[in-house]
Structure 1
Amino acid sequence: MPPRPVGSLRAFFSPSRTRGPVAAAPTAELRAFRATLLGTLVTSVGLGLTLPFTFVYFHRILGLPLPLAGVVVAAAAALALGAGAAGGVIADRVGLGRVAVLGLVLQAAGTVLLGLAREPVAGTAGLTVMSMGNSLVWPSLNGLVTHQVPPEHRSRAFAVRFGLMNVGIGVGSLIAATTVSVAHPNSFHLVYLLDGATTAVFALILLVGLRNTAGWRAHPHHTGQVVPGGYRTVLRDRRFTAYLGVLLALAVFGSSQTEGPWAAFVSQAPGGSARVVGLGFAANTAAIIVFQLPVERWTRGFRRSRLLVLCALAGAATWGLTGVASLPGLPPVAAGSLLVGAMAVFGVGETLLSPVINAVPNALAPEHLRGRYNAANSATYPVSKFIGPPLAGLLIGSGSPNSWVAVVTLGMLAAAGGAVLLGRRLPPAVEHP
């Protein structure tokens, strides 16, 4: 096992006592990273208010038939994928910070429009603008961390942001659970407006906190320097494409299965119910909040590919527990406990992934292509939503729904095998953070 890096992120958070020009750059980076964390917490509370309600909002409040609601969500995701690719190009030309603020402004405007909508057309327009803005924000923020945090602390920085985001989502979800009701349509409009307001606050925080710091503008090149660019260059990086393959497998057979398919399967299981589904997602969020920083400390000396392997194995264990819980003859209480525990295990797997998912592409990316690398990295999530849920629908809707458990479990085991092979291709500086 490689030696653990000296120091911690706490040292980076601590204001330098050094006087003079030497301390100026770290102070600016520290303030920029703190602004990013503060904005992440604020906007994630708003996100938690609305995250579970997209289908319900379009179907029950805006009056769109459920199949058409699925089409609208898929179409918005497709447009967001294109916007994310364009955002990577723009970020490399004008700066990651500027694109992050632009994306937040679009996201806030789209969310407010969605909250003001009283019919499906306006709601669809709002969802589209919101999704396109969101696809610009997160790749840019992930790239900005490389300017704000020293290399030896970046894995922890990404883990802190992920944990903080889940704290905010958890708080927002608890508020929504006690205030939002189909019987009161205005409650839905209100939470979407609040979500838009928190996103606008995040944009203002970044505009003030990141302006004129490293990453706000594009990386300058020397005059006359010929620099290869474009997504073709990105996809020629075989180490990066191998990493994308593993990440896509983790998303297709992992995260995309938790957003609908798992609940659909559980609703058919003997011990399943809407209450069990709610408790399962609460356990997932709680596991991330409780274990994120301890897991990051425990695994700080691990190879990054090993973390990907452990994440995939945690996913396989999640689906295995789900399958056991669906066995006939199991007492409902035991089945429900297994299902809730399964989602907690998945949450622990997510804590293993968070120090790696954004650190690897930023470690591989040359500065002039950082926006494109992060955009390609983020694209795996919407792509997985085009593959994972339809596959699950076919399997769960078949005569043998347990075939879904078998396929997703084998898929996660295959992802673990892919991560082992990936570890042999990554450069030592990337594999050993």
Structure 2
Amino acid sequence: MADTAPRTTLASFWAQLPREGRWLLSTVAIQLFGRGMTLPFTVIYLHEVRGIGLDVAGALMAWIFAVGVIVTGPGGAAVDKYGARLVTLVACVVHMTGVGILAFAESLPAAIVATTLMGVSGVTWPAFNAMVAAIVQGPLRQQYFGVNFALVNLGIGLGGIVSGLYVDVHVPRTFTTIYLVDAASLLIPVALLLGPLRHVHARADKPDGADDVPASYLRIARQPAMAWLLALTFIGTFVGYGQMEAGFPAFAREASEVSTRTIGWAFAANTAVIVLAQFLVLRRIQGHRRTRVLVLMSLIWALAWTVLGLTGIVAGTLTAAFGVVLYHVFFGLGETLLQPTIPAITNDLAPDHLRGRYNALSSGFFQVGGILGPVVAGFLLRHDQPTLFIALVVAGCLSMVALARGLEGRIPASANGVEGDEVPAVADRPHPAADVI
């Protein structure tokens, strides 16, 4: 059932945000600018500038994600116990330290210490989502997650463009500079959390009568709604981000036979689509079932991977180059549908006093999918199986359609973004919100 309420404009969205939400949102792009400067070049920096073997450099990148998975569980519990603000603050300081060490790392042990600290800061995602959910209530929450995602991509995209023009593997100090800029950019959230947002602890006490609410990760994950949502999150990352960051460039180079410049243009097109289309997409999906939005997203991603697969038939041609860029246009459009929905469903399902654990579970499954995706892509493409690779990811996208439809029957209408009378099972029912600010 679609909502007949007037569509939100960017101006009305900003006007409805509480002051704390405006503080968080207004600094996102600046915060991520530094991250965007370093993200595309870390492997290159470790290998070509610091002389670390390419395989070891790749393993260090994977280690960052692995550490992130390890700390997700304790991090989620810490959010519930100490509050999202404190956990985010500590994570920012730890990440800043790691990036600072990496800027001057001339040996493998120093690089291991740096990447370990960067991985520990993986608790930032569930902590930040819990803080947003504490500050922003109701339908505005979905819009916030979507706009935040667009601003994250804007910051990362601009940072990547600037660093691409600046860094030079023959001048090591250029890489040191961008890592120091990345570290300095984290002073912005630290200043916010110590200043204007110092009263936002984003922690809720356990409400009366909530003794039967599952608090362990296993019991939370076994709830029907969360089980389906976590499966959807894992598959979405496995066939989505895990393959987009590893499988896509490998396929584009080996099977489509396009230049690295074309791949760069494809990523630029992805960022442009997200930044330009996100708020328009948010207006279109407002009042519609989030599970139906996820179905549409899955079909768009299936189309994207099909387009990429077809470029292998016309490898090395202008048509192949066009198809590679078009893939990222479709993929970016799918992202604008995915990013507002899954975080909103997760936080609408979560009781306030367990929001950290719910977001940590979602983050953990997301990161595991991101780790396994490149492994599978590397194996298939290394063994000359590009057709099987495309078939696998398209099948994964289509399986998400079934998962989204299955999820629809297991969550309340309120968590699905619409008004309705459906009442979920006791184990899935959100509990009354607590005052966290």
Q: Determine the structure 2 residue equivalent to 1:72.
A: 60
Equivalent pair of 2:214/2:220 in contact (CA under 8 Å): no
Q: 1:402-413, aligned counterparts within 5 Å?
A: 402-413=387-398
Q: Determine the structure 2 residue equivalent to 1:24.
A: none
Q: CA deviation at 1:386?
A: 2.6
The verdict on how the C-alpha distance between 1:7 and 1:113 changes in structure 2, with shifts beyond 3 A counting, is same
Equivalent pair of 2:76/2:356 in contact (CA under 8 Å): yes
% identical equivalent positions: 33
SS at match of 2:23: helix
Q: CA deviation at 1:7?
A: 6.9
Q: Determine the structure 2 residue equivalent to 1:231.
A: 217
Equivalent pair of 1:47/1:195 in contact (CA under 8 Å): yes
Between the aligned partners of 2:202 and 2:411, the Cα distance in structure 1 is 29
Residue 176 (str. 1) matches residue 163 (str. 2)? yes
Equivalent pair of 1:317/1:345 in contact (CA under 8 Å): yes
Q: 1:119-138, aligned counterparts within 5 Å?
A: 119-133=107-121, 135-138=122-125
Q: Determine the structure 1 residue equivalent to 2:269.
A: 283
TM-score by length of 1: 0.91
Q: 1:406-421, aligned counterparts within 5 Å?
A: 406-421=391-406
Between the aligned partners of 1:283 and 1:341, the Cα distance in structure 2 is 8
The verdict on how the C-alpha distance between 1:217 and 1:245 changes in structure 2, with shifts beyond 3 A counting, is closer
Q: Determine the structure 2 residue equivalent to 1:32.
A: 20
Between the aligned partners of 2:139 and 2:210, the Cα distance in structure 1 is 30
Residue 13 (str. 1) matches residue 14 (str. 2)? yes
Between the aligned partners of 2:12 and 2:160, the Cα distance in structure 1 is 33
Between the aligned partners of 1:266 and 1:32, the Cα distance in structure 2 is 43
Residue 92 (str. 1) matches residue 80 (str. 2)? yes
The verdict on how the C-alpha distance between 1:400 and 1:147 changes in structure 2, with shifts beyond 3 A counting, is closer
Work out which of the residue numbers 230, 248, 260 in structure 2 matches 1:262: 248
Q: CA deviation at 1:270?
A: 4.5
Q: 1:39-54, aligned counterparts within 5 Å?
A: 39-54=27-42
Q: CA offsets, 1:195-217, max 9 Å, x none?
A: 0100122211222121113xx15
Q: CA deviation at 1:301?
A: 2.3
The verdict on how the C-alpha distance between 1:383 and 1:225 changes in structure 2, with shifts beyond 3 A counting, is closer
Amino acid at match of 1:212: H
Equivalent pair of 1:100/1:136 in contact (CA under 8 Å): yes
Q: Determine the structure 1 residue equivalent to 2:288.
A: 302
Q: Determine the structure 2 residue equivalent to 1:343.
A: 328
Amino acid at match of 1:166: N
Q: CA deviation at 1:90?
A: 0.5
Q: CA deviation at 1:399?
A: 3.2
Between the aligned partners of 1:129 and 1:351, the Cα distance in structure 2 is 30
SS at match of 2:251: helix
Q: Determine the structure 2 residue equivalent to 1:326.
A: 312
The verdict on how the C-alpha distance between 1:4 and 1:112 changes in structure 2, with shifts beyond 3 A counting, is farther
Structure 2: stretches of 5+ with no match in the other structure: 419-437
Between the aligned partners of 1:224 and 1:257, the Cα distance in structure 2 is 44
Equivalent pair of 2:91/2:124 in contact (CA under 8 Å): yes
Q: CA deviation at 1:72?
A: 2.0
Q: Determine the structure 2 residue equivalent to 1:202.
A: 189
Equivalent pair of 1:39/1:206 in contact (CA under 8 Å): no
Work out which of the residue numbers 241, 249, 258 in structure 2 matches 1:272: 258
Q: CA deviation at 1:70?
A: 2.2
The verdict on how the C-alpha distance between 1:221 and 1:401 changes in structure 2, with shifts beyond 3 A counting, is closer
SS at match of 2:414: helix
Q: Determine the structure 1 residue equivalent to 2:408.
A: 423
Between the aligned partners of 2:265 and 2:174, the Cα distance in structure 1 is 23
Equivalent pair of 2:301/2:397 in contact (CA under 8 Å): yes
Amino acid at match of 1:2: A
Q: Determine the structure 1 residue equivalent to 2:380.
A: 395
Between the aligned partners of 1:405 and 1:291, the Cα distance in structure 2 is 26
SS at match of 2:43: helix
Q: 1:353-364, aligned counterparts within 5 Å?
A: 353-364=338-349
Q: CA deviation at 1:148?
A: 1.6
Work out which of the residue numbers 338, 358, 365 in structure 2 matches 1:380: 365
Q: CA deviation at 1:103?
A: 1.0
Equivalent pair of 2:255/2:386 in contact (CA under 8 Å): no
Q: Determine the structure 2 residue equivalent to 1:252.
A: 238
Equivalent pair of 2:345/2:415 in contact (CA under 8 Å): yes
Higher mean C-alpha displacement, 38-47 vs 251-260 = 38-47
Amino acid at match of 2:246: G
